[in-house]
Amino acid sequence: MKKETIKKLTDIVGKEAVLTSDEDRICYSYDATRKIALPDVIVKPKNANEISSIVKIANQEKIPVVPRGAGSGFVGGSIPIMGGIALILTDMNRLIELDEENMVAVVEPGMVTYNLQQEVEKRGLFYPPDPASLKFCTIGGNAATCAGGPRAVKYGVTKDYILGLDVVLPDGEILNTGVRTTKSVVGYDLTKLIVGSEGTLGVITRLTLKLIPLPESIKTALAVFLKIDDASTTVSKIIANRILPSSLEFMDQSAVRCVENYIHAGLPVDAEALLLIEVDGDEISTKRQIEKIGDICSKTGAREVRIAKDEAERESLWKARRAISPALGHLSPTKINEDITVPRNKVPNIIRRLRDIAEKYRLNIVNFGHAGDGNIHVNIMTDSKNEEEMKRADEAVGEIFKATLELGGTISGEHGIGITKSKYIVDELGAKGMEVTRKIKKVFDPNNIMNPGKILS
């Protein structure tokens, strides 16, 4: 990057907020995919006006701008594959306002999701979206990827809690979208267009979020199944019985064994599958629901149903679920992680198809995820140095997506497209969908400076 450009950026944000050393560039070159590309410069703005000035320069000089929260994404969205400016939002991390009467929070994009949840829960309020990365990912990153989590089965995903946004557009102008009210039907829904756009349409600088009352009681159960088919059938049976759990998580045997090796929590490694089921609401209804769930699980073949007696037991059940991602890191050097989603009554079908695909391509595939909303995390455990195996893995991914779409599903329930899935989106959107998507990108970003190469390769 030209020295004069670095000087202009330094004039905007100050010397300490512009980094150019090789060490710093490496630190901001990757995300959870472990793919790497170096930015030319790292810039850490403190407010929307600074971002606006930075983006204006980038637009004039046609320099890529890559917004970045915690860099925890699973699809390479914050990797600067064309160099340029890595725009780090983590210093903008304030809770600007908590309006208890209207149940609204206004936050900066770099606020860590868990920190927001802690703040609002102190006042008896609730921000439900709970990606497993919530202790380090940012609200801005969540909005840009439309993150979801275990509670999506009952409460929905990030887009369901965003009322409005401030966004610095690729020409440097600031767009305010949405409202502070629950209702509004004025014009196109620009808020929803920006949510999930993975930093390709602008930089989110402020979010107005909807909160709801914090549930009074939570009850959690772990059901152990010797047959995987029984576990996947139970998922549909619970919902068919008109119970909507706040979480309904699934782990297959490889995931159980992998976690047990990692944290030694006493998990039943002979089980083909586990379901972690949680309900929330008032004390009486949660007690009734968890007992009913226990009965259903027993009838559908569970060998054992453990109901957590207190918060400590609940936490230990969740510890196993949250340990899956780090535990997988110890299983093999490379993990190809897809987050396909099918209609929940098709969970048994996709689980069978995944088993066949693993056999056909001779791959170790570990499955877990948010079975209650049909979102299965499919992890192909491989080694990027083994070219032959990587080729088989790549073919398996294509077949997994094909099976998902045939079952009426989607190739990404929560991680987004980024760089890793961009070659497949045409299969879901179709030619017309792609054409409209490209036109929208062009209207927002005619010079293609905002996170270029993401979503649309």
Q: Is 374 in the site for ligand FAD (CB under 6 A)?
A: no
With respect to ligand FAD, which residue has the nearer C-beta, 300 or 325? 325
With respect to ligand FAD, which residue has the nearer C-beta, 322 or 355? 322
Print the SS3 string covering the chain.
Answer: CCHHHHHHHHHHHCHHHEECCHHHHHHCCECCCCCECCCCEEECCCCHHHHHHHHHHHHHHCCCEEEECCCCCCCCCCCCCCCCEEEECCCCCCEEEEECCCCEEEECCCCEHHHHHHHHHCCCEECCCCCCCCCCCEHHHHHHHCCCCCCHHHHCCHHHHEEEEEEECCCCCEEEEECCCCCCCCCCCHHHHHCCCCCCCCEEEEEEEECEECCCEEEEEEEEECCHHHHHHHHHHHHHCCCCCCEEEEEEHHHHHHHHHHHCCCCCCCCCEEEEEEEEECHHHHHHHHHHHHHHHHHCCEEEEEECCCHHHHHHHHHHHHCHHHHHCCCCCEEEEEEEECCHHHHHHHHHHHHHHHHHCCCEEEEEEEHHHCEEEEEEEECCCCHHHHHHHHHHHHHHHHHHHHCCCECCCCCCCCCCCHHHHHHHHHHHHHHHHHHHHHHHCCCCCECCCCCCC
- Please, what is the angle between helix 387-406 and helix 347-360, to 10°? 160
With respect to ligand FAD, which residue has the nearer C-beta, 325 or 379? 325
Site for ligand FAD in 203-232 (CB under 6 A): 203-204
Tokens of residue 266, six digits: 């006493």
Strands 125-126 and 162-168: unpaired
CB 206 within 8 A of CB 96: yes
Among 29, 33, 52, 138, binds ligand FAD (CB under 6 A): 138
C-beta atoms surrounding 249 within 10 Å: 27
- Residue range at the interface with ligand FAD (CB under 6 A); choices 68-76, 181-189, 264-272, 279-287: 68-76
- Residue range at the interface with ligand FAD (CB under 6 A); choices 21-29, 39-47, 146-154, 172-180: 146-154
Q: Is 69 in the site for ligand FAD (CB under 6 A)?
A: yes
Q: Smallest gap, in angstroms, from Cβ of residue 149 to ligand FAD?
A: 5
C-beta atoms surrounding 175 within 10 Å: 15
CB 421 within 8 A of CB 394: no
Among 159, 256, 451, 452, binds ligand FAD (CB under 6 A): 451
Cβ within 8 Å of residue 29, ≥6 positions away: 36, 37, 38, 39, 79, 80
Among 140, 178, 348, 374, binds ligand FAD (CB under 6 A): 140
Q: Is 109 in the site for ligand FAD (CB under 6 A)?
A: yes
Among 39, 64, 67, 281, binds ligand FAD (CB under 6 A): 67
Q: Which of 288, 289, 301 is nearest to 239 (CA)?
A: 289
Site for ligand FAD in 186-205 (CB under 6 A): 198-199, 203-204
Gyration radius of the chain over CA positions: 22
- Residue range at the interface with ligand FAD (CB under 6 A); choices 135-143, 209-217, 243-251, 311-319: 135-143
With respect to ligand FAD, which residue has the nearer C-beta, 219 or 454? 454
With respect to ligand FAD, which residue has the nearer C-beta, 335 or 389? 335
- Residue range at the interface with ligand FAD (CB under 6 A); choices 19-27, 131-139, 182-190, 429-437: 131-139
Binding mask 406-445 vs ligand FAD (x if CB under 6 A, - otherwise)? Answer: --------xx------------------------------
With respect to ligand FAD, which residue has the nearer C-beta, 140 or 281? 140
Binding mask 17-46 vs ligand FAD (x if CB under 6 A, - otherwise)? Answer: --------------xx--------------
Among 13, 41, 65, 70, binds ligand FAD (CB under 6 A): 70
With respect to ligand FAD, which residue has the nearer C-beta, 305 or 324? 324
With respect to ligand FAD, which residue has the nearer C-beta, 133 or 379? 133
- Residue range at the interface with ligand FAD (CB under 6 A); choices 9-17, 55-63, 69-77, 284-292: 69-77
Q: Is 379 in the site for ligand FAD (CB under 6 A)?
A: no
Among 64, 80, 128, 141, binds ligand FAD (CB under 6 A): 141
Q: Is 73 in the site for ligand FAD (CB under 6 A)?
A: yes
Number of residues in contact with ligand FAD under rule CB under 6 A: 37
- Residue range at the interface with ligand FAD (CB under 6 A); choices 134-142, 171-179, 231-239, 298-306: 134-142
Site for ligand FAD in 83-102 (CB under 6 A): 89
Among 117, 142, 191, 232, binds ligand FAD (CB under 6 A): 142
Instruction: Provide the binding-site residues for ligand FAD, judged by CB under 6 A.
Output: 31-32, 66-74, 77-78, 89, 109, 131-133, 137-138, 140-142, 144-145, 147-149, 198-199, 203-204, 325, 414-415, 451, 454
